[in-house]
Amino acid sequence: MTKQNVVPVEAVAAIAVAAVAGSSPLFPYPPPRAYGRRKYLSQLELGGGRIGAWVESMKASSPTHAKATAALPSGDAAVDEQSAWVVRHPSALNKFEQIMSASKGKQIVMFMDYDGTLSPIVDDPDSAFMSDAMREAVRDVARYFPTAIVSGRCLDKVINFVRLADLYYAGSHGMDIKGPTKPRHAKARAKPVLFQPASEFLPMIDAVHKALLERTKSTPGARVENNKFCVSVHFRCVDEKSWSSLFEQVRCVLKEYPKLRLTQGRKVLEIRPTIKWDKGKALEFLLESLGFANCTNVMPVYIGDDRTDEDAFKVLRDRGQGFGILVSKFPKETNATYSLQEPSEVKDFLVRLVEWKRLSMKACSKVQVA
């Protein structure tokens, strides 16, 4: 398959193709840190001596795991911890009027993760369906605002889950981006969107997927998912006693592929190319493609629940433009400005956003008639 880049954004593309050949470590980022006193590995390593410590970090990073719960304060301390965190990351629903006030005179652009944001986290990744009410809310948002879904899933899967035509989709953590055939909100200088910055890695990803399928078949409950530009190894249904052996299986396969890196998500291991591209870069690319790259009157809003979404939250914080909303019931370190507890609250926020836009348009129409 040839590399596709219909949108020649030179500055962005240059970053995208900057593959770090064998010099970068397989684990370039530290694992996520649960909020509390538990200390995690500063960097995951492939050395066998670190596997036990890595498994401990996985237990603690899972919000539903007993070790993660134990790492959190209890009683009055827990209440104080939660209250302090909410002060720093208040509910986007409670601060809705403040958010809308900040958007006055600006074009809102919506970015959303899929799993854990628009759909619940479920044991079977193939059954992570969004509700009809959520789909209707996203459809209504897309009528009034440029809207993109940015997911770790492969592009075709996330499109099949969402089933809405007027959206921009970024699959494989932003490494496979596609826009609608007839964009509704793009500015005049916007360009058609079709971008795959890691297409040269496709044969390697396919080979790793096949190798992991074979290597992990002895681990009950392990699921290996080919997300086109990355491979996901789900261990949500794997007995905790088998986590070490599963990690060892993954480690053995990746030893042969120094151009791939391993990152950690919510009960999932992600194998990705070592290129400087993530959800934050995808957000910037889409803003560029929509014609908003250098605009001061744009307000990007990114809603996500996973540590991979932190790259997008950080981009918005560094830009000093727009804000991130973390979806989480548990306090944890984040670059997001606001928070929502679960997908149902995401739906409520989207519904309120649409209602606010409709009322604003109605008020403007009355002023023009007068």
Residues known to be catalytic: 113
* 370: Cα within 13 Å, side-chain hemisphere: 6
| 250, 196 Cβ separation under 8 angstroms | no
C-alpha span between 194 and 177 (Å, rounded):
6
- Closest C-alpha among 172, 234, 225, 179 to residue 201: 172
- Hey, what are 83's tokens? 């209250």
12 CB-near residues (< 8 Å, 6+ apart): 281, 284, 285, 288
101 CB-near residues (< 8 Å, 6+ apart): none
Instruction: Using the Cα atoms of residue 98, residue 100, residue 105 and residue 107 in order, give the sign of their dihedral.
Output: positive
C-alpha span between 268 and 234 (Å, rounded):
4
C-alpha span between 134 and 8 (Å, rounded):
34
Cβ-based neighbour number of residue 232 at 10 Å: 22
DSSP notation for 135-153: HHHHHHHHHHS-EEEE-SS
C-alpha span between 37 and 52 (Å, rounded):
19
C-alpha span between 345 and 179 (Å, rounded):
27
